[in-house]
Chains A and B, each alone.
Chain A
Amino acid sequence: MLLIKCPWCGERDMVEFTHGGDATKVYPKDPNATTSEEWHDFIYLRENPCGEHVEYWHHVAGCRQWLKVRRDTTTHDILTTAPADGDLDT
């Protein structure tokens, strides 16, 4: 069972959350100036690391805020959490 520390609500059960995917992918700054290769990279390609993964979760059955989580994909340990626009290292 994963206990995810929501920055607003504290540690909550994983069933309250929905996984939001890889948080290292950043939406292109200027969509009109973005090449096909850059779109392909943003939409489809994933580092898919075996180890630490930075990802979004949505506290959908709680405060409904989005958060950023660093989690180990080999142990499921939640390492750090932050608001979605925050910094995981502070």
Chain B
Amino acid sequence: MTRYSIFSLIKQGLIRHTGWKRAWRNPEPKAAYDVIIIGGGGHGLATAYYLAKLHGIHNVAVLEKGWLGGGNTGRNTTIIRSNYLLDPNAHLYEHSMKLWEGLSQDLNFNVMFSQRGVLNLCHSKAQTDAFARRGNAMRLNGIDAELLSRDEVRKRIPELDFSDQVRFPICGGLLQPRGGTARHDGVAWGFARAADQRGVDIIQNCEVTDFIIEGGRVTGVETTRGKITAGKVAMAVAGHTGVLAQKAGLTLPIESHILQAMVSEPLKPLLDTVVTFGAGHFYISQSDKGGMVFGGDIEGYNSYAQRGNLPTLEHVISAGVSMMPCLSRVRMLRSWGGTVDMTMDGSPIIGKAPIEGLFINGGWNYGGFKATPGSGWVYAHTIANDAPHPLNEAFTLERFARGRLIDERGAGANPALH
């Protein structure tokens, strides 16, 4: 397998880029594997990569019903941050952030991780206090956080609405300088290539139709390409965790909802950071191609349709225009929707399922992309050792029955509100 470098690029340039080889194999599924990972998105591929790299488990298959990264990995707004208040979240996402910081070198694949900063705006004295509290909690957990004044925010992003007659004046903001964005498809491709190099079979167009359970233990799966047995089976299927878990007889504390995102036509450089509106739900950044990439709330009703409705787009855009009035004349290029697993406390589930040999990684709400390397890292540890890592031991499925919720937003058992 070619190692990507400046030299490989020059060499290919000289022969008009005709010599690039495909980045991963397209193998037929074997009859048996040590570990089967269901779901060829970022999380599943990262799990396979870390299983092979850190735990010496190479006989692994990643089964994907469609194509690599075709679900939420390719549909998110690519924001990466670890600005969480609660300890379990802070530790997990900060671990992920540290992996992001070395990921392009580790994978030998440019994931275009850009630490351009993530700035949350606040619009009242009370919100400023709450942000100061979260910033302090972050710093106590070793995460970078800076509370900015109105003037400091204005210096960084003069395009925001600082006029006198606004409904939600900007009082300041909480900045995580190490936050940023990455190329989402590149993350899936980078993990796929690196996992494939370590012997992992990535099998696309292979949908899991049922689990094979013998004597209370999962021993394999039925797929559209035949039966495959495995010592361990691990789910990593984003918005469809509920549907897949039903096949194993599990009912989960999850509802599937739609989240939409949008991109504008490409513009000249306008915004060099990620900024979020604090008086509504709106987040925006500018892609390397120049498009303004933004999103907001979920639709609020259960759906697997992977498409949303116009009122939500209108709501998101109106929040954006009140934050950044110059957006009002920007033309929209595309909008799209993804199916997200909304859990009852707004935090993910990563750990062992109640059936022996089965593992669950899901319920990422709408924050899964930033967790991709960290999620794969802790999930691989959990699968290899049959026990969670300290970083994910709080994220069990059992926490709901035991009342140990991780409710970052404090919204209670209403998935549509997280």
Contacts and interface: CB of A to CB of B under 8 A. Distances in A.
Contact of A43 (B254, B303, B344): B344
Interface size range of chain B in the complex = 20 to 34
Contact of B304 (A2, A40, A50): A50
Contacts of B242: 46-48, 50
Nearest to B412: A43
Nearest to A42: B413
B217 to A, nearest CB: 23
Interface in B372-418: 400-401, 413-416
A7 interface: no
A76 interface: yes
Interface string A20-47: 0110000000000000110010011111
Given A44-B253, A46-B242, A48-B255, A73 B309 contact: no
Interface residues of A, number: 25
A79 interface: no
Interface string A50-77: 1001010000000000000001011110
Contacts of A22: 255, 302
A76 B305 contact: yes
A46 B309 contact: no
A2 B253 contact: no
B335 to A, nearest CB: 14
Interface string B283-318: 000000000000000001111110001110000000
Nearest to A47: B251
A36 B311 CA distance: 39
A84 interface: no
A46 B253 contact: yes
Interface of A is mostly: mixed
A14 B256 CA distance: 19
A19 interface: yes
B243 interface: yes
Interface in B264-280: none
B302 A48 contact: yes
Contact of A48 (B256, B311, B400, B414): B256
Given A1-B309, A14-B309, A73-B304, A43 B413 contact: yes
Contact of A76 (B243, B253, B303): B303
B213 interface: no
Interface of A: 1-2, 14-15, 18-19, 21-22, 36-37, 40, 43-48, 50, 53, 55, 71, 73-76
13 contacts: A1-B309, A14-B309, A15-B311, A19-B301, A19-B302, A21-B255, A40-B400, A44-B253, A45-B251, A47-B246, A73-B304, A74-B303, A76-B303
Please list the 3 inter-chain residue pairs (A to B) with the smallest Cβ-Cβ separation, ordered nearest first.
Answer: A48-B242, A44-B253, A19-B301
Interface of B: 240, 242-243, 246, 251-256, 300-305, 309-311, 344, 400-401, 413-416
